[in-house]
């Protein structure tokens, strides 16, 4: 028998494709082949099996990408592939979305984490607490010259939790409300307000404010757009 490999040996790094468009095309060919198996797994309620089917295809587009299989906003299911707004990953998510098939009644596709339609109805169980986002309040200051927003976030439970939990529950409601991309492109300074400030607004009111600043349609269902306007040009 040969020598056993050292178990401390790290896994080799996965290669990054040179051509994002070719990698995206390969993904969608694989996706079409996997769809019957994905449908079967999801139909049986086995989300883990469904996710395992596309771990490698997503990593083959770029190993730094994250993905999730979620309930769709307009379709039954949503496939979300995100680069967490890392500029080095943006060419890969852009190519992936550009090559995606049209959304249909079964699947919709997003290249960043989308907002939830109504954040006031969301509850997050975290650090042994249940955070009702409907109780979250925000103070926002907009900079019309830059199109950016400074924000302070308050929740009644902040007085009862540690700083790490406060920080997580400061940012999470903003991503849930605005979506990953709009939050990354429009928020500048984000602070935690342990005590409730004056002149606060709800998350839904805050979203309307930011979308108006960004020139993004404020859809009645809260979906908005995955492609906010450019901060400098105002164009999507």
Tell me the domains of the chain and their CATH numbers: 20-110 (no CATH), 119-213 (3.30.300)
Which stretches does DSSP call E strand in the chain? 66-71, 77-82, 107-110, 123-126, 129-132, 137-143, 148-154, 187-192
Exposure letters 159-186 (e unless 16+ CB within 10 A, then b):
eebeeebbebbbebbbbbbbbbbbbbbb
Residue 103 and residue 114: Cα distance in Å, rounded? 15
Question: Within the chain, which residues score under 70 in pLDDT?
Answer: 1-13, 220-236
């Amino acid at each position: 028998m040969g020598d056993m490999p050292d178990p401390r040996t790290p896994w080799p790094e996965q290669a990054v494709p040179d051509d994002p468009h070719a990698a995206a095309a390969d993904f969608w060919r694989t996706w079409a082949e996997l769809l019957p198996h994905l449908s079967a797994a999801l139909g049986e309620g086995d989300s883990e099996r469904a996710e395992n089917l596309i771990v490698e295809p997503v990593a083959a587009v770029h190993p730094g990408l994250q993905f999730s299989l979620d309930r769709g906003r307009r379709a039954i299911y949503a496939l979300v592939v995100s680069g967490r707004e890392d500029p080095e990953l943006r060419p890969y998510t852009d190519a992936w979305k550009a090559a995606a098939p049209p959304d249909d009644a079964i699947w919709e596709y997003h290249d960043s984490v989308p907002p939830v339609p109504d954040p006031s109805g969301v509850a997050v169980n975290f650090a042994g607490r249940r955070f009702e986002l409907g109780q979250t309040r925000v103070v926002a200051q907009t900079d019309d010259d830059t199109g950016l927003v400074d924000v302070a976030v308050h929740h009644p439970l902040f007085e009862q939790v540690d700083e790490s939990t406060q920080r997580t529950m400061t940012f999470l409601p903003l991503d849930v409300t605005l979506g990953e991309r709009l939050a990354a492109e429009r928020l500048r300074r984000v602070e935690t307000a342990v005590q409730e400030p004056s002149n606060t607004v709800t998350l839904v009111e805050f979203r309307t404010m930011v979308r108006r600043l960004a020139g993004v349609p404020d859809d009645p269902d809260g979906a908005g757009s995955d492609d906010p306007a450019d901060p400098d040009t105002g164009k999507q």
